[in-house]
Amino acid sequence: MEDTTSSNPQSLGFTEKLKSWLSWSWTYVCLIWLGMVLIMIYVLWSPLKLQETLTSASVFLNTLTPKFYVALTGTSSLISGLILIFEWWYFRKYGTSFIEQVSVSHLRPLLGGVESSSTTGLFSSVNGEAEPRPSVSECKVWRNPLNLFRGAEYNRYTWVTGKEPLTYYDMNLSAQDHQTFFTGDTQQLRPEDAVMQKAWRERNPQARIRAAYQAIEMNQECAAAYVLLAEEEATTITEAERLFKKALSIAGKDINLLVYIKRRLAMCARKLGRIKEAVKMMRDLMKEFPLLGMLNIHENLLEALLELQAYADVQAVLAKYDDISLPKSATICYTSALLKARAVSDKFSPEAASRRGLSTAEMNAVEAIHRAVEFNPHVPKYLLEMKSLILPPEHILKRGDSEAVAYAFFHLQHWKRAEGALNLLHCTWEGTFRIIPYPLEKGHLFYPYPGCTETADRELLPSFHEVSVYPKKELPFFILFTAGLCSFTAMLAMLTHQFPELMGVFAKAFFSTLFAPLGFLADKMESFMPSSFWHQLTRI
Protein backbone atom coordinates (compact mmCIF):
# COMPACT_ATOMS: atom_id res chain seq x y z
CA MET A 1 0.00 0.00 0.00
CA GLU A 2 2.79 2.39 0.83
CA ASP A 3 4.57 1.57 -2.42
CA THR A 4 1.44 2.34 -4.38
CA THR A 5 0.90 5.69 -2.73
CA SER A 6 4.55 6.62 -3.07
CA SER A 7 4.58 5.82 -6.77
CA ASN A 8 1.52 7.94 -7.54
CA PRO A 9 3.36 11.30 -7.41
CA GLN A 10 5.96 10.01 -9.86
CA SER A 11 3.34 8.75 -12.30
CA LEU A 12 1.41 12.00 -11.98
CA GLY A 13 4.58 13.99 -12.58
CA PHE A 14 5.37 11.99 -15.72
CA THR A 15 1.81 12.49 -16.99
CA GLU A 16 1.98 16.24 -16.42
CA LYS A 17 5.35 16.42 -18.19
CA LEU A 18 3.95 14.45 -21.12
CA LYS A 19 0.92 16.75 -21.36
CA SER A 20 3.10 19.86 -21.25
CA TRP A 21 5.43 18.47 -23.93
CA LEU A 22 2.49 17.60 -26.19
CA SER A 23 0.94 21.04 -25.76
CA TRP A 24 4.32 22.68 -26.49
CA SER A 25 4.96 20.58 -29.60
CA TRP A 26 1.43 20.73 -30.96
CA THR A 27 1.91 24.06 -32.75
CA TYR A 28 5.12 22.96 -34.43
CA VAL A 29 3.62 19.61 -35.48
CA CYS A 30 0.70 21.45 -37.10
CA LEU A 31 3.05 23.77 -38.98
CA ILE A 32 5.16 20.85 -40.23
CA TRP A 33 2.04 18.98 -41.31
CA LEU A 34 0.74 22.02 -43.18
CA GLY A 35 4.06 22.44 -44.94
CA MET A 36 4.07 18.79 -46.00
CA VAL A 37 0.54 19.09 -47.36
CA LEU A 38 1.51 22.12 -49.46
CA ILE A 39 4.58 20.31 -50.81
CA MET A 40 2.52 17.24 -51.69
CA ILE A 41 -0.03 19.36 -53.51
CA TYR A 42 2.70 21.04 -55.50
CA VAL A 43 4.46 17.74 -56.29
CA LEU A 44 1.25 16.04 -57.38
CA TRP A 45 0.06 19.05 -59.34
CA SER A 46 0.91 17.52 -62.74
CA PRO A 47 0.32 13.76 -62.07
CA LEU A 48 -3.15 14.36 -60.65
CA LYS A 49 -3.98 16.94 -63.32
CA LEU A 50 -4.98 19.49 -60.68
CA GLN A 51 -4.63 22.34 -63.16
CA GLU A 52 -7.21 20.79 -65.48
CA THR A 53 -9.49 20.12 -62.49
CA LEU A 54 -9.31 23.72 -61.36
CA THR A 55 -9.94 24.93 -64.90
CA SER A 56 -13.04 22.76 -65.26
CA ALA A 57 -14.25 23.88 -61.84
CA SER A 58 -13.84 27.53 -62.78
CA VAL A 59 -15.74 26.91 -66.02
CA PHE A 60 -18.54 25.25 -64.05
CA LEU A 61 -18.70 28.14 -61.58
CA ASN A 62 -18.83 30.64 -64.43
CA THR A 63 -21.87 28.87 -65.87
CA LEU A 64 -23.83 29.23 -62.61
CA THR A 65 -26.53 31.89 -62.66
CA PRO A 66 -26.79 34.68 -60.06
CA LYS A 67 -29.83 32.90 -58.59
CA PHE A 68 -27.52 30.15 -57.34
CA TYR A 69 -25.36 32.63 -55.48
CA VAL A 70 -28.44 34.33 -54.06
CA ALA A 71 -29.67 30.97 -52.78
CA LEU A 72 -26.21 30.10 -51.41
CA THR A 73 -25.75 33.33 -49.49
CA GLY A 74 -29.39 33.30 -48.36
CA THR A 75 -29.03 29.76 -46.99
CA SER A 76 -25.80 30.71 -45.22
CA SER A 77 -27.56 33.72 -43.69
CA LEU A 78 -30.48 31.54 -42.53
CA ILE A 79 -28.23 28.91 -40.92
CA SER A 80 -26.06 31.48 -39.16
CA GLY A 81 -29.23 33.27 -38.01
CA LEU A 82 -30.57 30.07 -36.45
CA ILE A 83 -27.23 29.51 -34.71
CA LEU A 84 -27.34 33.10 -33.46
CA ILE A 85 -30.86 32.65 -32.04
CA PHE A 86 -29.84 29.43 -30.25
CA GLU A 87 -26.64 30.99 -28.88
CA TRP A 88 -28.55 34.03 -27.62
CA TRP A 89 -31.19 31.86 -25.93
CA TYR A 90 -28.53 29.66 -24.33
CA PHE A 91 -26.61 32.72 -23.09
CA ARG A 92 -29.75 34.28 -21.58
CA LYS A 93 -30.69 31.02 -19.85
CA TYR A 94 -27.30 29.74 -18.67
CA GLY A 95 -25.04 32.78 -18.85
CA THR A 96 -22.48 31.27 -21.23
CA SER A 97 -21.97 30.41 -24.90
CA PHE A 98 -22.86 26.85 -25.94
CA ILE A 99 -20.09 26.69 -28.53
CA GLU A 100 -17.50 28.00 -26.08
CA GLN A 101 -18.67 25.61 -23.39
CA VAL A 102 -18.38 22.61 -25.72
CA SER A 103 -14.98 23.80 -26.91
CA VAL A 104 -13.63 24.23 -23.37
CA SER A 105 -15.17 21.00 -22.07
CA HIS A 106 -14.31 18.62 -24.93
CA LEU A 107 -11.83 20.11 -27.38
CA ARG A 108 -9.44 21.97 -25.09
CA PRO A 109 -8.26 18.87 -23.16
CA LEU A 110 -7.61 17.08 -26.48
CA LEU A 111 -5.41 19.96 -27.60
CA GLY A 112 -3.34 19.82 -24.42
CA GLY A 113 -4.92 22.91 -22.83
CA VAL A 114 -5.15 23.46 -19.09
CA GLU A 115 -8.47 22.56 -17.56
CA SER A 116 -10.54 25.46 -16.37
CA SER A 117 -10.89 24.02 -12.88
CA SER A 118 -7.22 24.40 -12.21
CA THR A 119 -7.10 28.02 -13.22
CA THR A 120 -10.26 29.27 -11.58
CA GLY A 121 -9.38 27.81 -8.22
CA LEU A 122 -7.11 30.72 -7.31
CA PHE A 123 -7.46 34.46 -7.22
CA SER A 124 -5.06 37.21 -6.34
CA SER A 125 -5.46 38.76 -2.96
CA VAL A 126 -4.89 42.39 -2.16
CA ASN A 127 -1.28 41.55 -1.40
CA GLY A 128 -0.85 39.81 -4.72
CA GLU A 129 -0.66 36.32 -3.23
CA ALA A 130 -2.69 33.41 -4.49
CA GLU A 131 -5.61 32.46 -2.29
CA PRO A 132 -8.30 29.81 -2.69
CA ARG A 133 -11.35 31.15 -4.46
CA PRO A 134 -14.83 30.21 -3.19
CA SER A 135 -16.25 27.27 -5.10
CA VAL A 136 -19.89 26.60 -5.90
CA SER A 137 -20.21 24.40 -2.81
CA GLU A 138 -19.05 27.31 -0.62
CA CYS A 139 -21.89 29.54 -1.82
CA LYS A 140 -24.04 28.60 1.16
CA VAL A 141 -27.79 29.07 0.94
CA TRP A 142 -29.41 30.53 4.08
CA ARG A 143 -33.00 30.44 5.24
CA ASN A 144 -34.67 33.81 4.73
CA PRO A 145 -35.21 35.26 8.23
CA LEU A 146 -38.33 37.14 7.07
CA ASN A 147 -39.81 34.46 4.80
CA LEU A 148 -43.52 34.79 4.13
CA PHE A 149 -46.34 32.39 5.00
CA ARG A 150 -47.23 30.01 2.19
CA GLY A 151 -50.97 29.80 2.79
CA ALA A 152 -51.62 33.41 3.79
CA GLU A 153 -49.19 35.17 1.43
CA TYR A 154 -47.50 33.04 -1.27
CA ASN A 155 -50.73 31.24 -2.22
CA ARG A 156 -52.62 34.54 -2.48
CA TYR A 157 -50.10 35.66 -5.11
CA THR A 158 -50.66 32.43 -7.03
CA TRP A 159 -54.45 32.83 -6.90
CA VAL A 160 -54.24 36.37 -8.29
CA THR A 161 -51.49 36.02 -10.93
CA GLY A 162 -51.45 32.30 -11.71
CA LYS A 163 -47.66 32.29 -11.20
CA GLU A 164 -45.72 30.19 -8.73
CA PRO A 165 -43.51 32.48 -6.60
CA LEU A 166 -41.44 29.60 -5.17
CA THR A 167 -39.22 27.21 -7.07
CA TYR A 168 -39.15 23.49 -6.42
CA TYR A 169 -35.52 23.77 -5.32
CA ASP A 170 -36.44 26.41 -2.74
CA MET A 171 -39.38 24.38 -1.38
CA ASN A 172 -37.23 21.25 -1.24
CA LEU A 173 -34.71 23.11 0.93
CA SER A 174 -37.55 24.17 3.24
CA ALA A 175 -38.72 20.56 3.49
CA GLN A 176 -35.22 19.51 4.53
CA ASP A 177 -35.14 22.33 7.12
CA HIS A 178 -38.47 21.26 8.61
CA GLN A 179 -37.40 17.65 8.81
CA THR A 180 -34.23 18.71 10.62
CA PHE A 181 -36.03 21.10 12.99
CA PHE A 182 -39.01 18.97 13.96
CA THR A 183 -37.96 15.32 13.49
CA GLY A 184 -34.25 15.39 14.28
CA ASP A 185 -34.05 12.24 16.44
CA THR A 186 -34.99 9.44 14.02
CA GLN A 187 -34.33 6.68 16.59
CA GLN A 188 -37.21 7.75 18.85
CA LEU A 189 -39.85 8.60 16.26
CA ARG A 190 -43.43 8.30 17.38
CA PRO A 191 -46.01 7.18 14.79
CA GLU A 192 -47.25 10.76 14.28
CA ASP A 193 -43.65 11.94 13.86
CA ALA A 194 -43.12 9.39 11.09
CA VAL A 195 -46.25 10.71 9.36
CA MET A 196 -44.99 14.30 9.68
CA GLN A 197 -41.55 13.34 8.42
CA LYS A 198 -43.22 12.02 5.28
CA ALA A 199 -45.52 15.06 5.12
CA TRP A 200 -42.62 17.53 4.86
CA ARG A 201 -41.30 15.58 1.86
CA GLU A 202 -44.62 15.65 -0.03
CA ARG A 203 -44.51 17.81 -3.12
CA ASN A 204 -48.29 18.34 -3.31
CA PRO A 205 -49.53 20.93 -0.74
CA GLN A 206 -52.86 19.14 -0.28
CA ALA A 207 -51.04 15.89 0.47
CA ARG A 208 -49.01 17.67 3.16
CA ILE A 209 -52.15 19.11 4.75
CA ARG A 210 -53.90 15.69 4.72
CA ALA A 211 -50.84 14.15 6.37
CA ALA A 212 -50.93 16.84 9.09
CA TYR A 213 -54.56 16.04 9.87
CA GLN A 214 -53.69 12.35 9.93
CA ALA A 215 -50.94 13.05 12.50
CA ILE A 216 -53.42 15.06 14.64
CA GLU A 217 -55.86 12.14 14.56
CA MET A 218 -53.08 9.90 15.85
CA ASN A 219 -52.07 12.40 18.56
CA GLN A 220 -53.99 15.56 19.40
CA GLU A 221 -50.80 17.10 20.80
CA CYS A 222 -48.67 16.84 17.64
CA ALA A 223 -47.28 20.39 17.56
CA ALA A 224 -45.45 19.92 14.23
CA ALA A 225 -48.78 19.18 12.51
CA TYR A 226 -50.26 22.47 13.70
CA VAL A 227 -47.11 24.25 12.48
CA LEU A 228 -47.66 22.80 9.01
CA LEU A 229 -51.32 23.82 9.01
CA ALA A 230 -50.39 27.36 10.15
CA GLU A 231 -47.82 27.65 7.38
CA GLU A 232 -49.79 26.17 4.50
CA GLU A 233 -53.53 25.86 5.17
CA ALA A 234 -54.21 29.14 6.99
CA THR A 235 -55.34 31.75 4.45
CA THR A 236 -54.97 34.74 6.80
CA ILE A 237 -52.29 35.85 9.26
CA THR A 238 -54.88 35.84 12.06
CA GLU A 239 -55.70 32.19 11.41
CA ALA A 240 -52.02 31.31 11.21
CA GLU A 241 -51.42 33.05 14.54
CA ARG A 242 -54.23 31.01 16.17
CA LEU A 243 -52.71 27.74 14.95
CA PHE A 244 -49.21 28.75 16.09
CA LYS A 245 -50.55 29.55 19.56
CA LYS A 246 -52.17 26.11 19.66
CA ALA A 247 -48.83 24.55 18.63
CA LEU A 248 -46.99 26.56 21.31
CA SER A 249 -49.32 25.33 24.06
CA ILE A 250 -48.46 21.69 23.28
CA ALA A 251 -44.82 22.06 22.12
CA GLY A 252 -43.36 20.88 25.43
CA LYS A 253 -39.60 21.24 25.83
CA ASP A 254 -38.60 20.80 22.20
CA ILE A 255 -36.23 23.75 21.71
CA ASN A 256 -36.41 23.70 17.92
CA LEU A 257 -40.20 23.82 17.99
CA LEU A 258 -40.27 26.53 20.65
CA VAL A 259 -37.85 28.82 18.81
CA TYR A 260 -39.57 28.33 15.46
CA ILE A 261 -43.10 28.90 16.82
CA LYS A 262 -42.19 31.94 18.94
CA ARG A 263 -40.40 33.54 16.02
CA ARG A 264 -43.36 33.01 13.71
CA LEU A 265 -45.73 34.37 16.36
CA ALA A 266 -43.57 37.49 16.58
CA MET A 267 -43.75 37.82 12.80
CA CYS A 268 -47.54 37.44 12.94
CA ALA A 269 -47.72 40.25 15.49
CA ARG A 270 -45.51 42.41 13.23
CA LYS A 271 -47.73 41.78 10.20
CA LEU A 272 -50.89 42.50 12.19
CA GLY A 273 -49.57 45.90 13.32
CA ARG A 274 -48.72 44.99 16.92
CA ILE A 275 -45.12 46.06 16.39
CA LYS A 276 -44.15 46.80 19.99
CA GLU A 277 -45.42 43.38 21.01
CA ALA A 278 -43.40 41.83 18.17
CA VAL A 279 -40.24 43.66 19.29
CA LYS A 280 -40.70 42.42 22.86
CA MET A 281 -41.21 38.84 21.69
CA MET A 282 -38.08 38.97 19.55
CA ARG A 283 -35.96 40.44 22.36
CA ASP A 284 -37.23 37.80 24.81
CA LEU A 285 -36.48 35.08 22.29
CA MET A 286 -32.91 36.33 21.77
CA LYS A 287 -32.35 36.49 25.56
CA GLU A 288 -33.85 33.03 26.13
CA PHE A 289 -31.77 31.37 23.39
CA PRO A 290 -28.61 33.50 22.99
CA LEU A 291 -26.66 30.75 21.24
CA LEU A 292 -29.02 30.57 18.25
CA GLY A 293 -27.46 33.52 16.45
CA MET A 294 -27.25 31.57 13.20
CA LEU A 295 -31.05 31.90 12.90
CA ASN A 296 -30.56 35.66 12.37
CA ILE A 297 -33.46 36.68 14.61
CA HIS A 298 -31.77 40.08 14.96
CA GLU A 299 -32.69 40.81 11.33
CA ASN A 300 -36.38 40.45 12.24
CA LEU A 301 -35.76 42.77 15.18
CA LEU A 302 -34.01 45.38 13.02
CA GLU A 303 -36.90 45.51 10.56
CA ALA A 304 -39.47 45.91 13.35
CA LEU A 305 -37.45 48.65 15.05
CA LEU A 306 -37.13 50.52 11.75
CA GLU A 307 -40.91 50.37 11.42
CA LEU A 308 -41.15 51.96 14.88
CA GLN A 309 -38.52 54.52 13.76
CA ALA A 310 -36.58 53.64 16.91
CA TYR A 311 -33.26 54.50 15.30
CA ALA A 312 -31.31 54.57 18.57
CA ASP A 313 -32.37 50.98 19.27
CA VAL A 314 -31.44 50.04 15.71
CA GLN A 315 -27.97 51.49 16.24
CA ALA A 316 -27.63 49.51 19.48
CA VAL A 317 -28.46 46.24 17.67
CA LEU A 318 -26.00 47.09 14.88
CA ALA A 319 -23.27 47.81 17.43
CA LYS A 320 -23.61 44.21 18.60
CA TYR A 321 -23.99 42.40 15.28
CA ASP A 322 -22.08 44.62 12.80
CA ASP A 323 -18.79 43.25 14.08
CA ILE A 324 -15.77 42.31 11.99
CA SER A 325 -15.76 38.80 13.44
CA LEU A 326 -19.43 38.10 12.62
CA PRO A 327 -20.89 37.21 9.21
CA LYS A 328 -22.41 40.10 7.32
CA SER A 329 -25.68 40.37 5.45
CA ALA A 330 -27.43 42.91 3.25
CA THR A 331 -29.66 43.82 6.20
CA ILE A 332 -26.66 44.65 8.40
CA CYS A 333 -24.73 46.60 5.75
CA TYR A 334 -27.62 48.54 4.23
CA THR A 335 -29.25 49.34 7.59
CA SER A 336 -25.94 50.79 8.75
CA ALA A 337 -25.78 52.83 5.53
CA LEU A 338 -29.39 53.99 6.01
CA LEU A 339 -28.69 55.32 9.50
CA LYS A 340 -25.65 57.28 8.33
CA ALA A 341 -27.42 58.53 5.21
CA ARG A 342 -30.45 59.61 7.23
CA ALA A 343 -28.28 61.98 9.27
CA VAL A 344 -27.25 64.04 6.19
CA SER A 345 -29.64 63.14 3.35
CA ASP A 346 -32.33 65.72 4.10
CA LYS A 347 -29.89 68.56 3.31
CA PHE A 348 -27.71 66.78 0.74
CA SER A 349 -27.32 68.38 -2.67
CA PRO A 350 -25.01 67.02 -5.38
CA GLU A 351 -24.37 70.51 -6.75
CA ALA A 352 -23.46 71.93 -3.35
CA ALA A 353 -21.30 68.92 -2.53
CA SER A 354 -19.38 69.31 -5.80
CA ARG A 355 -18.65 72.97 -4.99
CA ARG A 356 -17.65 72.75 -1.33
CA GLY A 357 -16.74 69.08 -1.06
CA LEU A 358 -18.21 66.47 1.27
CA SER A 359 -18.41 67.06 4.99
CA THR A 360 -17.21 64.42 7.44
CA ALA A 361 -20.73 63.13 8.07
CA GLU A 362 -21.47 63.02 4.33
CA MET A 363 -18.21 61.20 3.68
CA ASN A 364 -19.11 58.62 6.33
CA ALA A 365 -22.51 58.13 4.72
CA VAL A 366 -20.99 57.69 1.24
CA GLU A 367 -18.42 55.21 2.56
CA ALA A 368 -21.20 53.24 4.28
CA ILE A 369 -23.13 53.12 1.00
CA HIS A 370 -20.02 51.97 -0.88
CA ARG A 371 -19.48 49.27 1.75
CA ALA A 372 -23.06 48.05 1.41
CA VAL A 373 -22.95 48.07 -2.40
CA GLU A 374 -19.68 46.12 -2.39
CA PHE A 375 -21.27 43.47 -0.20
CA ASN A 376 -24.39 43.16 -2.37
CA PRO A 377 -24.38 45.20 -5.60
CA HIS A 378 -27.88 44.07 -6.62
CA VAL A 379 -29.81 45.93 -3.91
CA PRO A 380 -29.68 49.56 -5.21
CA LYS A 381 -31.61 48.81 -8.40
CA TYR A 382 -34.51 47.48 -6.32
CA LEU A 383 -34.38 50.33 -3.80
CA LEU A 384 -34.28 52.89 -6.62
CA GLU A 385 -37.08 50.97 -8.38
CA MET A 386 -34.98 50.43 -11.48
CA LYS A 387 -36.01 46.76 -11.31
CA SER A 388 -39.41 45.38 -10.34
CA LEU A 389 -39.72 43.50 -7.06
CA ILE A 390 -41.14 40.01 -6.62
CA LEU A 391 -42.06 38.03 -3.53
CA PRO A 392 -38.87 37.00 -1.71
CA PRO A 393 -37.87 33.32 -1.73
CA GLU A 394 -37.77 31.15 1.39
CA HIS A 395 -33.98 30.82 1.04
CA ILE A 396 -31.41 33.39 0.02
CA LEU A 397 -27.81 33.45 -1.11
CA LYS A 398 -25.77 36.12 0.63
CA ARG A 399 -24.41 38.74 -1.77
CA GLY A 400 -26.75 37.38 -4.44
CA ASP A 401 -29.86 38.63 -6.21
CA SER A 402 -32.10 36.51 -3.97
CA GLU A 403 -30.83 38.34 -0.88
CA ALA A 404 -31.31 41.69 -2.64
CA VAL A 405 -34.93 40.85 -3.45
CA ALA A 406 -35.60 39.77 0.15
CA TYR A 407 -33.98 42.88 1.64
CA ALA A 408 -35.65 45.40 -0.69
CA PHE A 409 -39.06 43.76 -0.30
CA PHE A 410 -39.14 44.53 3.43
CA HIS A 411 -36.86 47.59 3.70
CA LEU A 412 -37.79 49.77 0.72
CA GLN A 413 -40.43 51.52 2.82
CA HIS A 414 -37.82 52.41 5.46
CA TRP A 415 -35.55 54.03 2.85
CA LYS A 416 -38.50 56.00 1.46
CA ARG A 417 -39.38 57.20 4.96
CA ALA A 418 -35.91 58.76 5.43
CA GLU A 419 -36.07 62.02 3.47
CA GLY A 420 -33.38 62.24 0.79
CA ALA A 421 -31.85 58.83 1.56
CA LEU A 422 -32.73 57.36 -1.83
CA ASN A 423 -31.43 60.50 -3.56
CA LEU A 424 -28.08 60.12 -1.78
CA LEU A 425 -28.01 56.44 -2.74
CA HIS A 426 -28.80 57.31 -6.35
CA CYS A 427 -25.93 59.83 -6.53
CA THR A 428 -23.24 57.67 -4.93
CA TRP A 429 -23.84 53.91 -5.32
CA GLU A 430 -22.20 53.52 -8.75
CA GLY A 431 -18.96 55.02 -7.41
CA THR A 432 -18.36 51.69 -5.66
CA PHE A 433 -17.45 50.03 -8.94
CA ARG A 434 -14.56 52.44 -9.49
CA ILE A 435 -13.06 51.25 -6.20
CA ILE A 436 -13.26 47.59 -7.22
CA PRO A 437 -12.79 47.45 -11.02
CA TYR A 438 -12.10 43.69 -10.94
CA PRO A 439 -14.57 42.37 -8.34
CA LEU A 440 -14.01 38.69 -9.13
CA GLU A 441 -10.27 39.02 -8.47
CA LYS A 442 -9.91 41.57 -5.68
CA GLY A 443 -12.18 43.05 -3.05
CA HIS A 444 -11.92 46.30 -1.13
CA LEU A 445 -13.59 45.70 2.23
CA PHE A 446 -14.81 42.15 1.63
CA TYR A 447 -13.60 39.04 -0.11
CA PRO A 448 -13.81 39.05 -3.92
CA TYR A 449 -17.34 38.67 -5.20
CA PRO A 450 -18.20 34.95 -5.57
CA GLY A 451 -18.74 33.80 -9.12
CA CYS A 452 -21.35 31.18 -8.20
CA THR A 453 -24.19 33.52 -7.23
CA GLU A 454 -25.87 33.58 -10.64
CA THR A 455 -26.26 29.80 -10.81
CA ALA A 456 -27.65 29.54 -7.27
CA ASP A 457 -29.98 32.53 -7.73
CA ARG A 458 -31.46 30.98 -10.87
CA GLU A 459 -32.38 27.95 -8.76
CA LEU A 460 -33.89 30.04 -5.95
CA LEU A 461 -35.80 32.66 -7.95
CA PRO A 462 -38.78 31.95 -10.25
CA SER A 463 -38.27 31.74 -13.99
CA PHE A 464 -40.35 34.86 -14.73
CA HIS A 465 -37.86 37.00 -12.79
CA GLU A 466 -34.84 38.37 -14.64
CA VAL A 467 -31.91 37.48 -12.42
CA SER A 468 -29.49 40.33 -11.77
CA VAL A 469 -25.92 39.40 -12.74
CA TYR A 470 -22.78 41.02 -11.37
CA PRO A 471 -20.36 41.81 -12.83
CA LYS A 472 -22.24 42.33 -16.06
CA LYS A 473 -21.17 39.71 -18.58
CA GLU A 474 -20.03 40.73 -22.02
CA LEU A 475 -21.53 38.98 -25.02
CA PRO A 476 -19.52 35.85 -25.94
CA PHE A 477 -17.37 35.95 -29.07
CA PHE A 478 -19.46 33.39 -30.95
CA ILE A 479 -22.65 35.42 -30.55
CA LEU A 480 -20.91 38.44 -32.06
CA PHE A 481 -19.33 36.24 -34.75
CA THR A 482 -22.61 34.60 -35.81
CA ALA A 483 -24.37 37.97 -35.75
CA GLY A 484 -21.73 39.42 -38.06
CA LEU A 485 -21.78 36.35 -40.31
CA CYS A 486 -25.57 36.41 -40.56
CA SER A 487 -25.62 40.12 -41.42
CA PHE A 488 -22.77 39.83 -43.94
CA THR A 489 -24.25 36.86 -45.83
CA ALA A 490 -27.71 38.49 -45.86
CA MET A 491 -26.16 41.65 -47.35
CA LEU A 492 -24.34 39.58 -49.99
CA ALA A 493 -27.59 37.80 -50.92
CA MET A 494 -29.41 41.12 -51.32
CA LEU A 495 -26.61 42.72 -53.38
CA THR A 496 -26.27 39.65 -55.60
CA HIS A 497 -29.99 39.67 -56.25
CA GLN A 498 -30.06 43.39 -57.07
CA PHE A 499 -26.72 43.74 -58.95
CA PRO A 500 -25.75 40.29 -60.34
CA GLU A 501 -23.21 41.47 -62.94
CA LEU A 502 -21.44 43.92 -60.66
CA MET A 503 -21.21 41.31 -57.87
CA GLY A 504 -19.80 38.79 -60.36
CA VAL A 505 -17.00 41.18 -61.31
CA PHE A 506 -16.37 41.89 -57.65
CA ALA A 507 -16.21 38.17 -56.78
CA LYS A 508 -13.71 37.44 -59.57
CA ALA A 509 -11.50 40.34 -58.49
CA PHE A 510 -11.71 39.24 -54.86
CA PHE A 511 -10.70 35.62 -55.51
CA SER A 512 -7.94 36.56 -57.93
CA THR A 513 -6.50 38.87 -55.29
CA LEU A 514 -6.92 36.20 -52.60
CA PHE A 515 -5.02 33.51 -54.55
CA ALA A 516 -2.35 35.83 -55.95
CA PRO A 517 0.12 35.19 -53.07
CA LEU A 518 -0.15 31.43 -53.62
CA GLY A 519 0.68 31.80 -57.31
CA PHE A 520 3.58 34.08 -56.44
CA LEU A 521 4.99 31.48 -54.00
CA ALA A 522 4.59 28.70 -56.58
CA ASP A 523 6.51 30.71 -59.19
CA LYS A 524 9.30 31.45 -56.73
CA MET A 525 9.61 27.76 -55.79
CA GLU A 526 9.85 26.76 -59.47
CA SER A 527 12.56 29.33 -60.11
CA PHE A 528 14.47 28.36 -56.95
CA MET A 529 14.39 24.56 -57.27
CA PRO A 530 16.02 22.84 -60.31
CA SER A 531 13.60 21.20 -62.71
CA SER A 532 15.39 17.83 -62.38
CA PHE A 533 14.61 17.80 -58.63
CA TRP A 534 10.88 18.19 -59.23
CA HIS A 535 11.07 15.58 -61.98
CA GLN A 536 12.64 13.04 -59.61
CA LEU A 537 10.00 13.79 -56.94
CA THR A 538 7.28 13.31 -59.55
CA ARG A 539 8.71 9.92 -60.50
CA ILE A 540 8.86 8.87 -56.84
Residues written for the chain: 540
Q: Residue 379 contacts by C-beta under 8 Å, 6 or more apart in sequence?
A: 330, 334, 372, 373, 404, 407, 408
Average pLDDT value for residue range 507-520: 72
Greater confidence, 167 or 324?
167
Position 99 confidence tier, pLDDT thresholds 50, 70, 90: confident
pLDDT per residue as tens digits for the range 246-259: 999 998 888 889 99
- The whole-number average pLDDT for the span 473-477 is 65
Q: Is the pLDDT reported for residue 137 higher than 60?
A: no
Percentage, residues of the chain above pLDDT 90? 41
325 or 239, which is more confident?
A: 239
Please tell me the distance from the alpha carbon of residue 230 to that of residue 367, in angstroms, as a whole number. 43
Mean per-residue pLDDT over the chain, rounded: 80
What is the chain's Cα-based Rg? 34
- First-to-last C-alpha distance (Å) of the chain: 58
Per-residue pLDDT at 58: 64
Q: Which of 181-190, 350-359, 369-378 has the lowest mean pLDDT?
A: 181-190
Which has more pLDDT, 338 or 54? 338
Q: Which of 286, 497, 303, 531 has the alpha carbon at shortest distance from 415? A: 303
Return the H-helix or E-strand segment holding 142. strand 141-143
The pLDDT tens digits of the residues spanning 449-465 come to: 888 888 899 999 999 99
Task: Please write the tens of the pLDDT for every residue from 191-229.
Answer: 888 899 889 888 898 999 999 999 999 999 899 999 999
**Nearest CA to 243 among 270, 212, 214, 271?**
212
Give the mean pLDDT of 307-330: 90
Assess whether pLDDT exceeds 80 at residue 426: yes
- Can you give the pLDDT at residue 106? 60
